[in-house]
Amino acid sequence: MLHQSTLGMGSIALASMMSDQKLISAPIAHRPARAKNIIFLFMSGGPGQTDTFDPKPLLQKLDGQPVPESIAVNVPKIPRSGVNSKLMASPFSFTKYGQSGIEVSELFPETGKMVDDLCVIRSMNHRIPVHGPSECIALTGTAVGDRPSMGAWMTYGLGNASQNLPGFVVFLSNTTGPAPQRAGWGPGFLPAQYQGTVVDSKKGVPFTAMPSGYTDKNRREQLDYIKWMNERNLAQHGADFELEARIASYELGFRMQASAPEAFDVSGENETTQKLYGMDQKHTAEFGKQCLMARRLVENGVRCIQLRNGGWDAHGSLEGNHIARSRATDKPIAGLLQDLKQRGLLDDTLVVWGGEFGRTPTTEGSATGAKRGRDHSPAGYSVWMAGGGVKGGQIIGATDDLGYVPVDRPFSPADLHATMLDALGLDQHQLTYDHKNRAEIPTVFGGEVIQEVFS
């Protein structure tokens, strides 16, 4: 009877989706939210923790020597641990910044100035030493890449606060090196409407320009006809999340043709603001523009923004690699934090920085001098968080004297995910989706909120 009804269940769902709320879904409130939005600054390839936010003076003293047995015995027996290689001192010095006196590498002089707003977690760890699966762990919670990204879960839970823009936007920059993992912004088993929209920072949202020869009126008529045909299909065949998401994307796309170009056009920003993000310099222009767009999207109600900056995979010539990558990102990131703060947006916006893993304290291979690099090290690495209720100016957790493994407060990506969700008012155990008769949650392999982040 339902299948033969005029609308069918799929169209009933569609009718609700296309209600007067115009695709703005009500958020699921589990507890008071500390943040309304999240910006994830994902540094793909694996920044070295001992070269960025986890200084190790002993590593400097033992440069070129074997790993001491007292530390080697605690290193997980995973491939590429480098435990039998020679130790490699960081080529970068560290300086204490702010009232907190947290030490930050010379790679990040501008971000260092904002250290009193940062909560640095030095004891992240997992056991997968390969880029693709590790990126999936960092962004979805599992190595397989078949589950929803955290951005999709957040958009599913929070809804979309913007009528005319996607709830989850992704920017890619410097995509040389490890290939971007689509699972990192994919919907997994969630309805397709929650996947991230990948945006070209040079061209904006793809395919949103009004086609030649169309006006708002005849474009609307065309989309109404397409919608009518799709509704007939739903009525005949029943619920189809992909088709429903496609219909929703047509509607959203129509509204974006009017609003998206303005939201992504930063040319109207004054010169001071553009310089703050480094848009006046060639090496910072691309990522600076993306960070500025992220701030504008927050102002426009976009819930989740992911900025993936690739190329941190420094198996050789780590010094040159990390100088280039930090030079491209340091000023834009500091500019983003400053701009959010001065506009009163940082309190409501959670900013997270980190990669899929860190790098070994040892050198890889037999290279010498400036050609030395490090292998992958998921056993211990650093991330930081700011804004969105985060207590800045603090360090949580610690690795051993060489930066290999956590010796205090070890945390997994699932713990980080639970903490990010908590900041947004979402309880990892109550945010569920029925998939194959199982109430799925975002942190399927466990995970606890890192309470110290907010206290």
User: How far, in Å, CA of 185 to CA of 8, rounded?
Assistant: 31
Q: Is the pLDDT of residue 9 over 60?
A: no
Greater confidence (27 vs 69) lies with 69
Share of the chain above pLDDT 90, in %: 75
Structure tokens at 445: 């392999």
Residue 203: the pLDDT is 72
Taking only the tens place, the pLDDT of each residue in 251-281 is 776 777 666 677 888 999 999 999 999 999 9
Task: Summarize the confidence of residues 437-441 as an average pLDDT.
Answer: 96
Taking only the tens place, the pLDDT of each residue in 288-325 is 999 999 999 999 999 999 999 999 999 999 999 999 99
Residue 10: the pLDDT is 41
Residue 34: the pLDDT is 97
Per DSSP, the residues of 405-426 read SEEES-B-HHHHHHHHHHHTT-
Entry pTM: 0.89
Task: Summarize the confidence of residues 130-157 as an average pLDDT.
Answer: 97
Neighbours of 392 (CB within 10 A): 21
For 142, counting Cβ atoms within 10 Å of its Cβ (0-12 exposed, 13-18 middle, 19+ buried), the class is middle
Neighbours of 262 (CB within 10 A): 12
Task: Give the residues across from 439 on adjacent strands.
Answer: 434
CA distances from 65 to 48, 119, 362, 363 (A): 19, 33, 9, 10
Q: Is the pLDDT of residue 236 over 90?
A: no
Residue 208: the pLDDT is 67
Helix axes 131-140, 150-158, angle to 10 degrees: 20
Q: Is the pLDDT of residue 370 over 50?
A: yes
Taking only the tens place, the pLDDT of each residue in 334-352 is 999 999 999 999 999 999 9
What count of Cα atoms within 13 Å lies in the side-chain half-sphere of residue 5?
Answer: 11
The domains of the chain are located at 8-454
Four-residue CA torsion sign, 454, 334, 275, 95: positive
User: How far, in Å, CA of 278 to CA of 339, rounded?
Assistant: 12
Q: Is the pLDDT of residue 369 over 80?
A: yes
Task: Summarize the confidence of residues 413-427 as an average pLDDT.
Answer: 98
Residue 335: the pLDDT is 98
Q: What is the DSSP letter of 309?
A: E
Q: Is the pLDDT of residue 16 over 70?
A: no
Most confident of 77-91, 216-230, 256-270: 77-91
Neighbours of 347 (CB within 10 A): 14
